[in-house]
């Protein structure tokens, strides 16, 4: 196979892979992040502690993570057809099992990242009357943001691997190209070119994720939380100071 022919085949397949991973990654972020936060919030010592809910969510996540992806693709075909308009073939349809497989994986990574946040900060905010929403927005997410970025990067890289497996059952993308030409037509050189391209994509993605995580910096987030605590203390002390001033004025 000539290089021109390789390029002609690879560009459309590359875009299919990137679109698959992009859409599945977005769905994973939108569902997996809240799910991971719920695992923390409803767990032992969490602001919304509820052992029944926590265990139920844990079972769902564990079951989702334990199913091999190739089996998962077949198992969710009815759901895939429902979402993708009656078909289970093509990159659009492959996005569905990709997201279903990645959501529990990412949710567990989110749980691990958020649990690394210093519990003392959460307890301090709770003692000052902060609600669950404030704790999540002002402490849990900012403090764990670098770890969350790393977790999402890991998930996207896993999705690239999943997308290659989806190609074996008609999911399109680079995996489909490698199977049809590299395996079925014995174009070994072409298959290795595809492998090299996947390695490059993964490497670039990992470097970008690491760069963003470093830029965010846990130290800066910690300072923002300290500022929040100081502001909360000041807000709590203000009514007391005002009352003291009124008492002094009335005594005179």
How many C-beta atoms lie closer than 10 Å to residue 172's C-beta?
A: 23
pLDDT value at 238 more than 90: no
Other CB atoms closer than 10 Å to residue 31's CB: what's the count?
Answer: 17
pLDDT in tens, 27-37: 999 999 999 99
* Helix extents (H) in the chain: 3-41, 51-66, 69-75, 77-83, 91-115, 119-127, 132-135, 141-166, 173-177, 188-216, 218-251
| pTM confidence score | 0.80
| Mean pLDDT over each residue of the chain, to the nearest integer | 80
Q: Could you tell me the CA-to-CA distances from 178 to 103, 133, 165, 191, 210 in Å, in that order?
A: 26, 47, 10, 5, 29
- 20 and 174 in contact (C-beta within 8 Å)? no
Q: Which span out of 1-5, 121-125, 134-138 was modeled with the highest average pLDDT?
A: 134-138
The token pair at 165 is: 């497996």
Q: What is the mean pLDDT of residues 194-211?
A: 92
202 confidence band (pLDDT: 50, 70, 90):
very high
- What digits encode the pLDDT tens for the residues 93-104? 888 889 999 999
Distance (Å, rounded) from C-alpha 175 to C-alpha 183? 11
Q: How many percent of the chain have pLDDT more than 70?
A: 83
Task: Report whether pLDDT(221) > 70.
Answer: no
- Which of 12-26, 116-130, 171-185 is predicted with the least confidence, judged by mean pLDDT? 116-130
CB distance 107 to 39 below 8 Å: yes
What is the tens place of the pLDDT at every residue in 156-168? Answer: 999 998 888 887 7
According to the model, what pLDDT value does residue 205 have?
93
165 or 204: which leads in pLDDT: 204
pLDDT, tens digit, for every residue of 117-130?
777 777 777 777 77
Distance CA 41, CA 52 (A): 12
Residue-range domains of the chain with CATH: 3-234 (1.10.3720.10)
| Cα–Cα dist 9/7, whole Å | 5
What is the per-residue pLDDT for 225? 54
Encoded tokens for 247: 């008492």
pLDDT greater than 50 at residue 76: yes
Residue 204's pLDDT band (cuts 50, 70, 90): very high
Provide the pLDDT for residue 152: 95
Helix axes 3-41, 188-216, angle to 10 degrees: 40
- Residue written as tokens 């998962």? 72
Contact 119, 45 (CB under 8 A): yes
Residue 108: CB atoms within 10 Å:
20
Tell me, what's the pLDDT at 226?
Answer: 56
Which pair of tokens denotes residue 89?
């073939």
């Amino acid at each position: 196979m000539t290089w021109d022919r390789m390029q002609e085949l690879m560009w459309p397949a590359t875009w299919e892979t990137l679109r698959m991973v992009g859409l599945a990654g977005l769905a994973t972020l939108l569902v997996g992040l809240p799910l991971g936060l719920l695992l923390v919030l409803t767990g032992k010592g969490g602001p919304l502690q509820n052992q029944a809910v926590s265990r139920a969510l844990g079972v769902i996540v564990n079951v989702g993570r334990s199913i091999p992806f190739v089996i998962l693709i077949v198992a969710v075909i009815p759901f895939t057809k429902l979402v993708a308009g009656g078909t289970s073939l093509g990159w659009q349809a492959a996005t569905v099992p990709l997201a279903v497989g990645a959501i529990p994986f990412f949710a567990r990574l989110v749980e691990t990242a958020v649990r690394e946040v210093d519990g003392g900060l959460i307890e301090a905010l709770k003692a000052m009357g902060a609600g669950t929403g404030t704790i999540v927005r002002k402490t849990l997410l900012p403090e764990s943001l670098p770890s969350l970025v790393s977790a999402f990067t890991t998930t996207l890289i896993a999705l690239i691997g999943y997308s290659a497996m989806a190609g074996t059952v008609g999911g399109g993308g680079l995996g489909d190209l490698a199977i049809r030409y590299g395996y079925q037509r014995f174009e070994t050189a072409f298959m290795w070119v595809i492998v090299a391209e996947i390695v490059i994509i993964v490497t670039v993605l990992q470097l970008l994720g690491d760069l963003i995580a470093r830029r965010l910096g846990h130290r800066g987030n910690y300072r923002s939380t300290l500022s929040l605590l100081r502001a909360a203390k000041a807000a709590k002390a203000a009514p007391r100071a005002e009352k003291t001033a009124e008492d002094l004025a009335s005594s005179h």
